[in-house]
Structure 1
Amino acid sequence: MDVSKNKGIAADQKKLVVIVAMTRYMLLDFTGPADVFTNADRFLQATGTNNGYEVKVVAPTYDKRVTTSAGVEVNCQYCAMDIKPPIDTLIIAGDDYWEIMASELEPFYAWLSGINEQNTRRIGSVCAGAFALAKAGLLNGRKATTHWEVSEKLKAQYPSIKVHSNAFFMQDGYIYTSAGVSSGIDLSLALVEEDYGKEIAVRVARQLVFYLRRPGVQAQFGNLLPVYDNTSIGHKLKLWLNERLHEPVDLSKIAEHFNMSVRNLTRVLQKHAGMPPAKFIEKLRVEKARVYLEDTDLSLERIAEQCGLGNLVTMRRIFLRQLAITPSDYRNAFRTSLKDTGDQGLFPVSYPA
């Protein structure tokens, strides 16, 4: 049953889903949501439902072409500016069109600035598509998420946005934002469930061999510590500590190595890395433990020792705090591909000792 209220569109009319393909590098940003909505429409038609979805993947430029880094050129039937409201659901998929001259995107942003709650029921973004919504002023004062790799950039460029780095997707009023790449599928499944209920959404998820609700948070996929400049205290501290994580860490010893007082080390690290030494060291320990969990068969107890995480109970508590997942669940989710699948004979893979 359709439980949505589609502005300006009759209840028995298909919902217009417009997906703007603004990515050259991540095709899944727009093909993922498109597959969700087109399959949902297929299942709805099979049940005798008269409405459903009309899906249009459109280009942000008048040439109607989306040229991808994979050598695939998508020739869209429409550009965004061809689409006249009312629109049911608008999704901005990605935003790596910075290579295109700003003048070529001016018509698109003029069009996007005319999209609002009066003529569009829902507006969403996938990955860096949040930047396009932000540029159009649609995220002012709202909470939003984006890919973990660019979340700090979004915060810095648009301070009025309340950026949540861990969520796969989130809603603030009629605006929906999602994190990186495959999270566009997470968001689209949630929108289908919002419109037509869990049963249809589950059927689509099964068809795509995907979770209806993916467990965990985005932090599991990203780096807990950013990539620091080679001259920064964060980079130097990472290099020095990496070989010593199995040892007890003495802040005075670290400070002495860098010819600083403990107080000055704390101040400098807080300023340049955004966190105190204790938090920095804990994140670095977890990062190293993740590598062991992904690439080796070391026991959890041994990994805890090697990374200075104490015992298994302590490591579990720290993983839950930093990644919202236990070490054993993390290993099951992220261990080296094909390991323990029974396919090693077909796809031989060598693992480090």
Structure 2
Amino acid sequence: MKDEILNSINIKQTKKVVIVAMTGRMLMDFVGPADVFTTASIFLQESGLNDGYDVQIASPTSNKKVTTGAGMEILCPISAIDIKSPIDTLIISNYEFREKAADPFEPFYKWLGKRTDKNTRRIASVCAGAFALAKAGLIDKRKVTTHWNLNEKLKQSYPQINVDTNLFFAKDGHIYTSGGVSSGIDMALAMVEEDFGKELAIRVARELVVYLYRPGYQSQFGSLLPSYETSGLSQKLRNWVLEHLHEILDVRRIADHLNMSTRNFTRVFHKQTGMPPAKYVEKIRVEQARKLLEDTDQSLEQIAEICGLGGLSTMRRTFLRLLMTTPSDYRRAFRTPLSDIGLDELYPLDNLNYSGAE
């Protein structure tokens, strides 16, 4: 390990990492990456090779306080806006969405907008932190990611940005963005691997009991269907489609159910949802298949039939195209573990609703 690390670093240089803890309910958004870098530093210092990283948690405001959604108030040693020196890695954790007459974060966004690849080697975000980078004008025309639940909001707020929420984290030049919560750990481990080699990154991952690379494809698994207006056609159709998933649901049959002409229904539906009716039905089929894979012991063949996804091979191709994983791999990753630990009788799966819908 020693020779590999020596070949990949400047022995005398400690890398300054500043993690800005914005207001948010997920402490792991900033604590997770901090643990990755500090753990890497411990191993490097023990080996006598390098001091590794100088990790600093900074507030975005001058009072150095961060009030989290978890009810904790954190007093940071520094304020980001007071930093004038170069930074190796700058990570923005989360974002403040609430509109205020006098935004206390404006000085921070102004400071952030002056951070370039000339004074900061890497600029990154965790979860909603991508909105802070966008507000500061740092990710125009770049490929970025954010938490899957914020995908549409980021696209609508900043149409000049190329948003891809299929990724745990994305890199475009010196800009890095990650999905949410644990995705920040994935991104930080990738940075450690870039800086000091794979062996150190593996050692850190083992210490934190996380994957260096998650099994299967590096993809988030958010809902395939964004939220729509309750009065729209998609919401009116959802329950009916779920009741008839095992049947043939072509455009004509759906239009007849709504007492609309096929042409008018297709036009209105596409305008409201941004997708053709057939694509909407396919995504509902996959969403229901995901729920059955998570919550039941039904075979893959049974789930394919129940959800109208054809045979097993057809369902597999559809999962690969939409989720970049197979049904069997998805089940292994997300299967509800209650039965595995003998709690299925106390907590029947039929009483659980993981989707939050209906």
TM interval, short-chain normalised: over 0.9
AA of the residue aligned to 1:85: S
CA separation of 1:109/1:192 partners in 2, compared to 1, >3 Å: closer, same or farther? same
1:349 aligns with 2:347: yes
CA separation of 1:138/1:345 partners in 2, compared to 1, >3 Å: closer, same or farther? closer
Alignment partner, residue 24 of structure 2: 24
**Contact preservation (8 Å) 2:22, 2:94:** yes
AA of the residue aligned to 2:137: G
1:52 aligns with 2:58: no
Aligned partner of residue 215 in structure 1, secondary structure: coil
Deviates more, 1:239-248 or 1:185-194: 239-248
**In the TM superposition, what is the alpha-carbon distance from 1:259 to its structure 2 partner?**
1.9
CA separation of 1:140/1:250 partners in 2, compared to 1, >3 Å: closer, same or farther? closer
Alignment partner, residue 81 of structure 1: 81
1:279 aligns with 2:265: no
Alignment partner, residue 336 of structure 2: 336
Deviation string for 1:151-171 (max 9, x for gaps)?
121111112211112111111
**In the TM superposition, what is the alpha-carbon distance from 1:103 to its structure 2 partner?**
3.0
**In the TM superposition, what is the alpha-carbon distance from 1:49 to its structure 2 partner?**
1.5
Aligned partner of residue 171 in structure 2, secondary structure: strand
Aligned partner of residue 19 in structure 1, secondary structure: strand
1:203 aligns with 2:199: no
Alignment partner, residue 67 of structure 1: 67
Q: Distance in 1 between matches of 2:344 and 2:245?
A: 38
**Contact preservation (8 Å) 2:168, 2:178:** yes
**Contact preservation (8 Å) 1:22, 1:97:** no
Identity rate, percent:
59
AA of the residue aligned to 1:309: L
Alignment partner, residue 312 of structure 1: 312
**In the TM superposition, what is the alpha-carbon distance from 1:250 to its structure 2 partner?**
3.1
**In the TM superposition, what is the alpha-carbon distance from 1:246 to its structure 2 partner?**
1.2
Alignment partner, residue 120 of structure 1: 120
Structure 2: 5+ residue stretches without partners? 352-358
- Map residues 1-353 of structure 1 onto 2, 5 A cutoff: 1=5, 12-96=12-96, 98=98, 102-216=102-216, 220-340=220-340, 343-344=341-342, 348-352=346-350
AA of the residue aligned to 1:63: N
Q: Distance in 1 between matches of 2:99 and 2:338?
A: 37
Q: Distance in 2 between matches of 1:50 and 1:311?
A: 56
Deviation string for 1:278-317 (max 9, x for gaps)?
1111100000111111111111111111111111111111
Q: Distance in 2 between matches of 1:152 and 1:217?
A: 22
RMSD over aligned CA atoms reads 2.0
**Contact preservation (8 Å) 2:91, 2:126:** yes
Deviates more, 1:94-103 or 1:298-307: 94-103
Deviation string for 1:229-254 (max 9, x for gaps)?
11001111212211110111132121
AA of the residue aligned to 1:145: T
AA of the residue aligned to 2:266: T
Q: Distance in 2 between matches of 1:294 and 1:85?
A: 49
AA of the residue aligned to 1:104: P
- TM-score, length basis structure 1: 0.93
Structure 1: 5+ residue stretches without partners? none
Q: Distance in 2 between matches of 1:212 and 1:27?
A: 21
**Contact preservation (8 Å) 1:124, 1:175:** yes
Q: Distance in 1 between matches of 2:258 and 2:219?
A: 30
**Contact preservation (8 Å) 1:192, 1:200:** yes
Deviation string for 1:17-62 (max 9, x for gaps)?
0000113211111001000000000011111123300000111111
- TM-score, length basis structure 2: 0.92
CA separation of 1:2/1:195 partners in 2, compared to 1, >3 Å: closer, same or farther? farther
CA separation of 1:269/1:215 partners in 2, compared to 1, >3 Å: closer, same or farther? farther
CA separation of 1:187/1:66 partners in 2, compared to 1, >3 Å: closer, same or farther? same
Q: Distance in 2 between matches of 1:346 and 1:256?
A: 42
Matched length? 347
Deviates more, 1:95-104 or 1:58-67: 95-104
**In the TM superposition, what is the alpha-carbon distance from 1:205 to its structure 2 partner?**
0.6
AA of the residue aligned to 2:149: E
Aligned partner of residue 349 in structure 2, secondary structure: coil
**In the TM superposition, what is the alpha-carbon distance from 1:339 to its structure 2 partner?**
3.3
Deviates more, 1:215-224 or 1:89-98: 215-224
CA separation of 1:286/1:346 partners in 2, compared to 1, >3 Å: closer, same or farther? closer
Q: Distance in 2 between matches of 1:25 and 1:323?
A: 27
**In the TM superposition, what is the alpha-carbon distance from 1:96 to its structure 2 partner?**
3.1
CA separation of 1:281/1:31 partners in 2, compared to 1, >3 Å: closer, same or farther? same
CA separation of 1:219/1:87 partners in 2, compared to 1, >3 Å: closer, same or farther? closer
Q: Distance in 1 between matches of 2:257 and 2:277?
A: 14
**Contact preservation (8 Å) 2:143, 2:164:** yes
Q: Distance in 1 between matches of 2:294 and 2:344?
A: 21
AA of the residue aligned to 1:27: L
AA of the residue aligned to 1:187: M
CA separation of 1:28/1:99 partners in 2, compared to 1, >3 Å: closer, same or farther? farther
